[in-house]
Chain A
Amino acid sequence: MAFTNTVRNCYQTTIEEIKAAGLFKEERYIHSPQSSEIEVEFPVGSTIKKCINICANNYLGLSSHPAVIAAAHAGLDSRGYGMSSVRFICGTQDIHRELENRLTAFLGTEDTLLFPSCMDANAGFFEAGLGEQDVMIADRLVHASIIDGMRLCKAMQDTYKHSDMGHLEEKLHEHQDKRLRLVITDGVFSMDGDTARLADIVALAEKYNAMVFLDDSHATGFIGRTGRGTHEHCGVLGRIDVITTTLGKALGGASGGCVSGRRELVEMCRQRARPYLFSNSVAPVIVAGALKVLDLISTSTERRDKLEWNTKYWRGLLKDAGFDIKEGDTPIVPVMLYDAKLAQDVARDLFDQGVYAVGFFFPVVPKGQARIRTQLSAAHEKRHLDFAIEAFRKVGQKHGILGLGKKELLARCAA
């Protein structure tokens, strides 16, 4: 079928509908390496502006770390640019397996398989690991990639209310007739920044003979005393059956992800996970960089300790300034505004003040839960956070929202 005017109009109408709904996304061009201070061109064609970046997943500040860059350069020189192959044809180098073994040791699991991304790991795992006689029981706030992966799997789908252990127990009880049961959760939930009740989940899974799946993308490298992740934080190291995680956030931030866990489950992915079977290998340069990241974080907790300090400091600053934040102790700190337009206006005004933060609203978060999601990094210095809070204060004063709770904020927006 030719791309006729009728076809073009069909797409243009949809794009206009997205714009009218306030859901149109635009990229901002960054002219510098990823860091706590970046140079941004927004809108396109405008003068480049220096900003404090408070919305990256660069938790450990390793995205542009000199040692990681040097290791990546060395990997480029010694192993080349690309593999031009999927893993099982001629795309596996010694360093791919070395990285898998290092991740296995770091996460405290039995085996690991690299994927092009954690999105791909989540898209591939469920179909490879479960069948029609099985059931998947997921927390209702798991990441979108898990939902997509579950939809590709023939096992029965079910959900439980977010972090509601009573509801999870009901579901586990209800599905005792299934061959295999899998409880699915994020470690740290990306929108609210809260941590899964993993010790309770593991206890219930053991009671009802179920496996546990954990997406620890927003935790690997910095949650837990030595940064192993949510399973370390909750005291259940070695008791999680499957962990998926990413190299695209704290672990250098380039790309790549993995499935790590019980040997047989990892092997099922190697044999059957379609994103693994039909995508190119992770590029050697990324593998070499990730190996250096693991060196850095396995020998010192300095970066995760600094991130922890920054998190406490920033949460305190926001509260003292009168913002309504989601309580917690992770470096994801949502500033609650509840109203979608207000969230967009505040984000725009923060950018004018030199702070890069993004507003999130429905359908990314539930209706009436709009927010600015701020994220801390070990690359932030105290002066960055002091600068950012001044910008937040100015913008908060402009909109008259300081010191207001949910009811007052919603009433103010309705007025």
Chain B
Amino acid sequence: MDEVGKVVRDYITREYLQEGDDREITETTALISGGIVDSFSMVSLLRFLEKKYSIHIPAEAATPEAFDTVQSIEALVHRFQRTEVSV
């Protein structure tokens, strides 16, 4: 897990786990298919990533699959960081 992954993991723990929920979030924990993040509350994670990394993630890329693990979110951020740089 790189620095982006750690930031994402910390945000998910803070934003989505209820008080007393001691589940550990790892790189491969199923976030959406595992019921930790739902598609309704996923928008705050999207907004957090866009603000934190000054990137724009278009709606067609913000799929439940792309947001399903810390690993896949990490890859998504890196993909759009590269896009922003190349633009």
Is A159 among interface residues, defined by CB-CB distance under 8 A?
yes
Is B58 among interface residues, defined by CB-CB distance under 8 A?
no
Contact B40 A366 (CB under 8 A): no
Q: How far is the CA of A368 from the CA of B34 in the complex (A)?
A: 10
Q: How far is the CA of A168 from the CA of B18 in the complex (A)?
A: 13
Residues of chain B at interface, number, CB under 8 A:
12
Contact A159 B35 (CB under 8 A): no
Contact B40 A367 (CB under 8 A): no
Question: Among the listed B19, B35, B47, which residue makes an inter-chain contact with A362, where contact means beta carbons less than 8 Å apart?
Answer: B35
Give A174 Cβ to nearest chain B Cβ, in Å.
9
Contact B35 A366 (CB under 8 A): yes
Contact B34 A367 (CB under 8 A): yes
Contact B43 A157 (CB under 8 A): yes
Contact A164 B18 (CB under 8 A): yes
Known contacts A366-B35, A367-B34, A367-B35; A147/B40 CB under 8 A: yes
Give B43 Cβ to nearest chain A Cβ, in Å.
5
Contact A161 B35 (CB under 8 A): no
Contact B18 A159 (CB under 8 A): no
Q: Which residues between 26 and 78 of chain B lie within 8 Å of chain A, taking CB atoms?
A: 34-35, 38, 40-41, 43-44, 47
Is A140 among interface residues, defined by CB-CB distance under 8 A?
yes
Chain B residues near A157 (CB-CB < 8 A): 40, 43
Is A39 among interface residues, defined by CB-CB distance under 8 A?
no
Q: How far is the CA of A159 from the CA of B45 in the complex (A)?
A: 11
Q: How far is the CA of A366 from the CA of B33 in the complex (A)?
A: 11
0/1 per residue, A140-181, Cβ < 8 Å to B?
100000010010000001110110100000000000000000
Question: Among the listed A158, A162, A362, which residue makes an inter-chain contact with B43, where contact means beta carbons less than 8 Å apart?
Answer: A158
Chain A residues near B38 (CB-CB < 8 A): 140
Chain B residues near A140 (CB-CB < 8 A): 38, 40-41
Q: How far is the CA of A161 from the CA of B47 in the complex (A)?
A: 17
Contact B41 A159 (CB under 8 A): yes
Closest to B19 in A: A164
Of B18, B35, B40, most A-chain CB atoms within 10 Å: B40
Contact A161 B43 (CB under 8 A): no
0/1 per residue, A229-273, Cβ < 8 Å to B?
000000000000000000000000000000000000000000000
Closest to B16 in A: A161
Chain A residues near B47 (CB-CB < 8 A): 158
Q: How far is the CA of A207 from the CA of B16 in the complex (A)?
A: 24
Closest to A367 in B: B35
Contact B35 A162 (CB under 8 A): no
Give B17 Cβ to nearest chain A Cβ, in Å.
8
Closest to B42 in A: A159
Chain A residues near B34 (CB-CB < 8 A): 367
Give A130 Cβ to nearest chain B Cβ, in Å.
15
Chain B residues near A161 (CB-CB < 8 A): 15-16, 18-19
Q: How far is the CA of A368 from the CA of B41 in the complex (A)?
A: 19
Q: How far is the CA of A157 from the CA of B18 in the complex (A)?
A: 20
Contact B40 A158 (CB under 8 A): no
Question: Among the listed B15, B18, B40, B44, which residue makes an inter-chain contact with A162, where contact means beta carbons less than 8 Å apart?
Answer: B18
Chain B residues near A367 (CB-CB < 8 A): 34-35
Closest to B21 in A: A161
Q: How far is the CA of A164 from the CA of B44 in the complex (A)?
A: 16
Chain A residues near B43 (CB-CB < 8 A): 157-159
Q: Which residues between 335 and 357 of chain A lie within 8 Å of chain B, taking CB atoms?
A: none
Chain B residues near A147 (CB-CB < 8 A): 40
Closest to A140 in B: B41
Q: How far is the CA of A159 from the CA of B19 in the complex (A)?
A: 16
Give B57 Cβ to nearest chain A Cβ, in Å.
16
Chain A residues near B35 (CB-CB < 8 A): 362, 366-368
Residue positions of A touching B, CB distance < 8 A: 140, 147, 150, 157-159, 161-162, 164, 362, 366-368
List 6 extra interface pairs beyond A162-B18, A367-B34, CB under 8 A.
A147-B40, A157-B40, A159-B41, A159-B43, A161-B19, A368-B35
In the A-B complex, list the 8 residue pairs whose CB atoms are closest, starting with the nearest.
A367-B35, A159-B41, A366-B35, A147-B40, A157-B43, A158-B44, A140-B41, A161-B18
**Can you pick out 15 interface pairs between chain A and chain B where the beta carbons lie within 8 Å of each other?**
A140-B40, A147-B40, A157-B40, A157-B43, A158-B43, A158-B44, A159-B44, A161-B15, A161-B16, A162-B18, A164-B19, A362-B35, A366-B35, A367-B34, A368-B35
